[in-house]
A and B are shown apart, each in its own frame.
Chain A
Amino acid sequence: MKEFTYVVTDPEGIHARPAGLLVKQANRFQSRITLHKEGKTADAKRIFAVMRLAVETGQPIVVTVEGEDEETAAAAMEAFLKANL
């Protein structure tokens, strides 16, 4: 399993549009990708779950990636977050 932490810097947090992009990105991979925030978790491939997590700007999220393509998936997710959130 791969794990990394990312602090959201987008002023609006993970709201609808970036949540959509994130889900789209996560669905490209086989691995199970989970977001963790303050004890709550969300499946990164599900839009309602990601939106419900309501990640605001300045909040750290832990991303765990588990599966066959976890190496590439983790790297891609981290790059995506840095570029978009």
Chain B
Amino acid sequence: MIVLNGTGVFGGIAFGRLSFFQRNECKIRRRHVEDINRELSRFEKAKHTAVAQLQTLYEMALQEMGENHAMIFRIHQMMLEDPDFCKTVESIIKTRQVNAEFAVSETENHFRRMFSAMEDSYMRERAADVKDVSDRVLGILADSTGTARRYDEPVIVAADDLAPSETVQLDKSKVLAFVTRLGSQTSHTAILSRTRNIPAVIGLGDALKEEYNGRPAVVDGFSGRIYIEPDESTTAAMEQKKRKEEEKRSLLEQLKGLDNVTRDGRRILVCANISSESDVEAALQNDAQGVGLFRSEFLYLDREDYPSEEEQFRVYRSVAEKMAGKRVVIRTLDIGADKRSGYFGLPSEENPAMGYRAIRICLTRPDLFKTQLRAVYRASAFGNVAVLFPMVISVQEVRRAKTLAAQVRQELRKEGVPFSKKVELGVMIETPAAAVICDLLAREVDFFSIGTNDLIQYTLALDRQNRRLDPFYDPHHPAVLRLIRYVVERARQAGIWVSVCGELGADLSLTEAFLRMRLDELSVSPPCILALRKKIRETDLSKG
């Protein structure tokens, strides 16, 4: 058995034989020509044919992958019709008295170099587009018909990388998986893999050898591994993984689009916890009814300096737009404790979990806080956005946070910057103090979100990072459950909505209890959403 490591693009397991993608690479020879006009008209004709072919590909891609991805063929058309490109080809034919093939190939090299030299990695990859376009013209000049490749049986397609036109022309029913030597998350193979749910492993490098052609293999798109001639135990493990995945997917298919409602008609919102912009895709795939917790810390971590208002605005806006009117609760900066970043200049603390963190930082550094609030309010013009304040222990803190929010609104109004007037403000209930005075906090805000992870840690005085405490850890401790019940009851009395957004939200043994409390929302990580929906739909509160 041979094991190769790459990057998984789309999760999924595929069993099959490896088949290397064959191209009709034509060798380009430089020929001296006497009849320059003949070469010019050959190029002109080939160009027209290529543009017409690209039109067909565009229409195919539009059907298969949508306008967004089909656009690449329009761009290929533009490249071919770009006067810069055409004039270069024509001038090489004229000045050097060479054949059209050689002139196209020279021009291709020139434009590829231009892209390869660019700083932006996305742009660098566009060199592949130049090659794809030029190869098409060269193929037409050589009179080789670019027909779709056909496989007799489904295979794992192996290649250096696949050009957009190649991926579109492949018969997808015969493709079990893609494995490539090159490629990145923005390459066409990766895009196709994600849009068509075909497992793929890219970036395998030279370890993917042509001699493996025809050998049986297993592709694990989750781990980014491929096993060539897998042994029995690997095959068995992969078969099991595949079965589990299929079960999950069929559950997803069955439950997608259904309501989160119990047998006796009690409804509850099930939303997603996300930590970055890219998690939105998973939230939508799993049918989240909103984002119940958007941890904004990722914007601040792993970097050298504070993120600008503009940068934050773009991210919040993008998430709000993608959620298309569904509520997105943005938790303001929760840095400190175990999440730290050098440029904040935070002093080291004896007991960081109880130290200078979250709202405590925000209230002592209002400039920092207001930058974030401005970004959130600006994003509110593009979707349904709410703000959640973390680590609150007093009414005073909430009032100060609200005052800063009011200042931000006033500034924006003065500057004529649009924002929604319906941005709800909420408090995270994650300290015992906040839970116990929640009736007072409820008068100040529009909603509560119960953060069970910290609430358990602070209520039980038990550090979750300390493995030796595991035997003492009881997430169902009556003290915790009583606090949650108390918070939900008080929120209902005050007429504000309340959500549970910690790990307990996904704990199926508590789902019925949460439903009985008349909790408004559960917010969990995206892969847990549909399992939770299943549980809710099986529950009957009229019994027992």
Interface residues of chain A, those whose CB is within 8 Å of chain B, are 9, 11-13, 15-17, 19-21, 23-24, 46-49, 51-52, 54, 56-58
Contacts and interface: CB of A to CB of B under 8 A. Distances in A.
Contacts of B26: none
Q: How large is the interface on B (under 10, 10 to 19, 20 to 34, 35 or more residues)?
A: 20 to 34
Contacts of A56: 120
B314 A48 contact: no
Given A16-B72, A20-B78, A51 B123 contact: yes
A59 to B, nearest CB: 11
12 contacts: A11-B318, A15-B122, A15-B123, A16-B71, A20-B74, A20-B75, A24-B78, A47-B79, A47-B82, A51-B123, A56-B120, A57-B314
Contacts of A13: 120
Interface in B285-322: 310, 314-315, 318
From A13, A47, A52, name the one whose CB has the most chain B CB atoms within 10 angstroms: A47
A17 B111 contact: no
A48 B84 contact: yes
B510 interface: no
Given A51-B123, A52-B114, A46 B75 contact: no
Given A11-B314, A54-B118, A54-B119, A17 B79 contact: no
Nearest to B75: A20
B83 interface: yes
A49 B315 CA distance: 29
B85 interface: yes
A10 to B, nearest CB: 8
B79 A48 contact: yes
B242 interface: no
A15 B314 CA distance: 16
B196 to A, nearest CB: 19
Nearest to B73: A20
Given A11-B314, A48-B82, 6 more contacts: A13-B120, A15-B120, A23-B78, A48-B85, A49-B84, A52-B114
B95 interface: no
Nearest to B120: A54
Interface string B82-126: 111100000000000000000000000001001100111011001
B129 interface: yes
From B82, B119, B122, name the one whose CB has the most chain A CB atoms within 10 angstroms: B82
A16 B75 contact: yes
A12 B310 CA distance: 14
A34 B149 CA distance: 42
A52 B126 CA distance: 11
A43 to B, nearest CB: 9
From A19, A24, A52, name the one whose CB has the most chain B CB atoms within 10 angstroms: A52
A17 B123 contact: no
A16 B85 contact: no
Contacts of A47: 75, 78-79, 82
B68 interface: yes
From A9, A12, A48, A49, name the one whose CB has the most chain B CB atoms within 10 angstroms: A48
From B78, B111, B315, name the one whose CB has the most chain A CB atoms within 10 angstroms: B78
Contacts of B315: 11
Nearest to A14: B123
Contacts of A48: 79, 82, 84-85, 111, 114
Nearest to B79: A47
Interface in B41-85: 68, 71-72, 74-75, 78-79, 82-85
A57 B120 CA distance: 12
From A13, A20, A57, name the one whose CB has the most chain B CB atoms within 10 angstroms: A20
- 6 closest A-B pairs (Cβ-Cβ)? A47-B78, A20-B75, A17-B71, A48-B84, A48-B82, A11-B314
B216 to A, nearest CB: 38
Contacts of B75: 16-17, 19-20, 47
From A13, A16, A49, A57, name the one whose CB has the most chain B CB atoms within 10 angstroms: A16
A4 B115 CA distance: 28
A16 B126 contact: yes
B74 A12 contact: no
A70 to B, nearest CB: 21
Nearest to B308: A58
Interface string B117-157: 01110110010010000000000000000000000000000
Contacts of A57: 314
Interface in B434-450: none
Nearest to B117: A52
B318 A24 contact: no
A48 B83 CA distance: 9
A19 B79 CA distance: 11
B121 to A, nearest CB: 11
B281 to A, nearest CB: 15
Contact of B126 (A49, A51, A58): A51
From B68, B126, B129, name the one whose CB has the most chain A CB atoms within 10 angstroms: B126
B279 to A, nearest CB: 16
Contact of B314 (A9, A17, A19): A9
Contacts of B123: 15, 51, 54
Contacts of B74: 20, 24
Contacts of B79: 47-48
B310 A16 contact: no
Contact of B83 (A17, A24, A46, A54): A46
Nearest to B74: A20
A23 B77 CA distance: 12
Contacts of A24: 74, 78
A21 B68 CA distance: 11
A51 B79 CA distance: 11
Nearest to B318: A11
Contacts of B119: 54
